[in-house]
Chain A
Amino acid sequence: MASTTTSTFRRILPQLVILGCALMLNVLVFPDFFRIEFQNGRLFGNLIDVLNRGAPVALLSIGMTLVIATRGIDLSVGAVMAIAGATAASLVVEGHGWVTALLGALAVGAICGAWNGLLVAILRIQPIVATLVLMVAGRGIAQLITEGTILTFLNPGLIRLGAGTIMGVPTPIILWIVLGAFAAFAVRRTALGLLIESIGVNQASSRLAGINARVLLISVYLVSGLCAALAGVIVAADIKGADANNAGLWLELDAILAVVIGGNSLLGGRFSIVASLLGALIIQSVNSVILLSGMPPEFNLVIKALLILAILVIQSPKVGHAVYMLRAAGPKAFDTRPAPAARPQKEQS
């Protein structure tokens, strides 16, 4: 429907603008940023790198968006990446095929997600605490699987998931775009999106309206676990080895940041998966600017923090309101539209 398309576009417009600015910064520091070449059956270029390197956070942000929409948070995704990578690696090292390794890793991710979901939905532990358990324990579990070493492998099928291409496009790009599109489509073409948002806004009311909040809560954490597992396999495949200590380290924070940059409220409710994916790309573009500018690496984290602070300040409701007041004070003083409320992006995507 045309109206739905327009409101989706309006919802993601701020993220598109910010992404555009971030990409322009890349061009400023590296004029050839947009050049894409086709060599040896593979696309090459800085833009392709952004899309490719951004894959793990993009995948994580899909599940994280759903979890945050229920007013939860999943701190364990980085650790689940490590567990999944370790599982896939140990399976191929034991001589299993790459399909078994992938399915095994996904199953482990699903178990991790279900565990988080049980703690949150059944035992009613606060999500930040419940997922902290696995965040801490997860790396230990991954180390037990790899037996404390970096478990390397040479299985070409598994490596292709991280370093291979499909019709010239790096596999991780295909994976996150397909999965993201599927998830965004699934939540809006079924009633899942509405029910998840309803739980996030008011769980008591939702329960009294007959919504099965428990099953839905467990499901979103399970999806988050699955997304993390796939991201973990990609990262392991990319370096041809499972590093229990460093795989996915701190990526849970990038994933949360992607969701926030995507304009989704940490207080739950209205969400947009597409906007979160754009948020993930914005983060990767910022990373890319820092790399391409040739700045000493010591500055990386500080500069990244400053750029992201700038993005969040631009999005803050106070700033939005101030801009609105400035405009209202101008010639359109009698604009009767209501002032932007506490959360600037409310349109459904």
Chain B
Amino acid sequence: MTDDPRPMLHARGVSKFFPGAVALDDVELKLYPGEVHALLGENGAGKSTLIKCLTGVYRRDGGVITLDGADIAPHSTLDSQKLGIGTVYQEVNLLPNLTVAENLFLGRQPTRLGLLARRRMVTEAREVLADYGLDIDPAEPLTSYSVAVQQVVAIARAVEMSGKVLILDEPTASLDRDEVQLLFSVIRTLKARGLAVVFITHFLDQVFDISDRATILRNGRVVGTRLLDGVSQTDIVTLMLGRQLEARVHDRAPRTLGDLLIEVDGLAKSGMLDPASLRIHKGEVVGLAGLLGSGRTETANLIFGAVPADQGRILREGHEIRVTNPREAVAQGFALCPEDRKTDGIVGDLSVRDNIVLALQARQGWWRPIPRAKVTEIAEHYVKALDIRLASLDMPIRLLSGGNQQKALLARWLATAPDFLILDEPTRGIDVGAHAEIIALIESLREQGMALLVASSELEELVAYSTRVIVLRDRRQVSELTGDAISTSNIIHAIADEPIQEAS
């Protein structure tokens, strides 16, 4: 396979710039005929940008892409399909109200005397689908079949139209175990037919199940291409998260824990999180680690009531409390800085002043307005304490930089004097300076006796400030690290589901 001298598709030095950011930097990707090639990386690593450059959604800003030895520069998805690159996305983008056969042949229907040859189309569709191990009636509407079957129909359409390279973008995200196996058998058939298949997923087990090689991206660069035969999941996770396995035991000062504040007992929501339990003391930072989609954010949202849980309970100082929505959580002294600052955090058009005071005002109720002088005092206090850089308190918060927006959101919650602060990716997408300040703030809040729960993909950060780290994988808690066992290497081992080297 890899000794084949000529790759089916070879991308070299591909770069893509967005205003103020480099999305792809000198990326190389080789796809050989008859291989399944996994494309791995955390959110924002550049996977989807690379795919979009290959399929003509974006024009690349630099680099060369050759397909079958010829230079290509697709300028639209249609163009790339014609060249031989087909793509199937997580959400099947077919037409649900048409029949299977119509979906398969849309745009190139067999005709007779200029009229649609419906019967021939159905027969041909049946033949095509038989190659994919599907014995279904192509005259039925697409929606009468399961998502997995629709997925296979989408693949069949892409392969029949293109037939050289097939890109599968998270095809298994909404499939169950048996359906995944159906899909994999189809992929193996295509592999035998000599297609180059690109497989994108967050599920590492599936990567090792079906893929021959993997290219790992991080921050828009290729950090490695590996033959999967010779490597462990730990190696891959290390590459994805970009941490060298370090044996160094983190130096941590003796920390005295306060009283138990929050106890979460079997909190779960089907399809989001298996029953999760955790205890958080005053003066403690509990870290949540795991890959994207492992249940980090889900845990935070369920505890805060942002998404109501199906089962489980939350106790505060030993008493069961009701948290079915954020309002009830805030009343209990909870606070949550959400993962997606823009859509769930800031109220963009309102002033920084109003944004800072919003949660406090919401908790006080509309009939007890905070006097304007007091509002200004609170806002000015936090602008100074957190060093928020702004031209004026009256400017809309959307005009602030990411780091300053995050600080303003922290100010919004600190103004409510919470006992329990949940931070979801508190340092994502912010500049280095603000990054360090937020970490220092987490430390100082812990020293003041606040209980914190921090979900983050930045392992070194988690190791630095957590008193305990809970590791999640596939929507389950798989491990809890305390004391000296907290290290990036142990977290990576736990994420990769391999034995932890140092016992805790």
Interface residues of A (CB under 8 A from B): 1, 4, 189-192, 194-195, 197-198, 201-202, 204-212, 216, 269-270, 346
- Interface size band for B: 20 to 34
> A189-B369, A210-B327, A212-B327 given as contacts; is B343 within 8 A of A204 (CB)?
yes
- Describe A's contact surface by its main secondary structure: helix
Known: A192-B366, A210-B362; 15 extra A-B contacts, CB below 8 A, are: A190-B367, A191-B361, A191-B366, A191-B367, A191-B368, A194-B354, A194-B358, A198-B347, A198-B354, A201-B348, A205-B345, A208-B306, A212-B327, A270-B349, A346-B349
**B148 located at the interface, meaning its Cβ lies under 8 Å from any Cβ of chain A in the complex:** no
Q: Give, as a whole number of angstroms, the nearest-CB distance from A6 to chain B.
A: 13
Query: Which residues in window 322-374 of B have CB below 8 A to A?
Result: 325-327, 329-331, 336, 338, 343-350, 354, 358-359, 361-370, 372
Please indicate the chain A residues that have their CB under 8 angstroms from the CB of B368 in the complex: 191
Known: A191-B361, A208-B306, A209-B412. A198 touches B350 (CB 8 A): yes
Task: State in angstroms the CA–CA spacing of A267 and B330 once bound together.
Answer: 28
Which residues in A have their C-beta under 8 angstroms from that of B370? Answer: 191
Instruction: Check A210–B326 contact: CB distance below 8 A.
Output: yes
- CB-CB under 8 A for A201 and B327, given A1-B372, A194-B361: no
Say yes or no: B366 contacts A208, CB within 8 Å: no
CB distance from A187 to the nearest CB of B (A): 9
Partner of B343, one of A192, A197, A205, A216: A205
Residues on B with beta carbons closer than 8 Å to the beta carbon of A211: 327, 358, 362
Taking beta carbons and an 8 Å cutoff, which residues of B are in contact with A? 304, 306, 325-327, 329-331, 336, 338, 343-350, 354, 358-359, 361-370, 372, 396, 412
Interchain CB contact (< 8 A) of A202 among B306, B326, B346, B359: B346
Which of chain A's residues have a CB closer than 8 A to the CB of B350? 194, 197-198, 201, 269-270
Chain A residue numbers with a CB within 8 Å of B330 are 209-210
Return A314 CB to nearest CB of chain B, in Å: 23
Complex contacts, A4 vs chain B, CB 8 Å: 372
A202 in contact with B347 (CB, 8 Å): yes
Contacts of B343 in A (CB 8 A): 202, 204-205
Bound Cα distance A110, B350 (Å): 30
Q: Is the CB of A207 within 8 A of B326?
A: yes
Q: Which residue of chain A has the shortest Cβ distance to B301 in the bound complex? A: A208
Please name all residues of chain A whose beta carbon is closer than 8 Å to the beta carbon of B372 when the two chains form the complex. Answer: 1, 4
Q: How far in angstroms is the closest Cβ of chain A from B159?
A: 39
| A343 nearest in chain B by CB position | B349
Q: How many angstroms between the C-alpha atoms of A269 and B354 in the bound complex?
A: 12
A208 CA to B416 CA, complexed, in Å: 13
Query: Which residues of chain A come closer than 8 Å to B331, judged between CB atoms?
Result: 210
Taking the closest CB of chain B, its distance from the CB of A192, in whole angstroms, is 5
CB-defined A-B contacts under 8 Å, sample of 17: A1-B372, A4-B372, A191-B364, A191-B365, A192-B366, A194-B350, A197-B349, A202-B346, A204-B343, A205-B345, A207-B325, A208-B344, A208-B345, A209-B362, A209-B412, A210-B330, A211-B327
The chain B residue with its CB closest to the CB of A268 is B349
C-alpha spacing A218/B337, complex, angstroms: 27
Which chain A positions have C-beta within 8 A of B329?
Answer: 210
Contact A209 B326 (CB under 8 A): yes
Instruction: Kindly state the separation between the CA atoms of A216 and B368 in the bound complex, as whole angstroms.
Output: 15
Smallest CB separation, B412 vs chain A (Å): 7
Q: Which residue of A lies closest to B373 (CB)?
A: A1
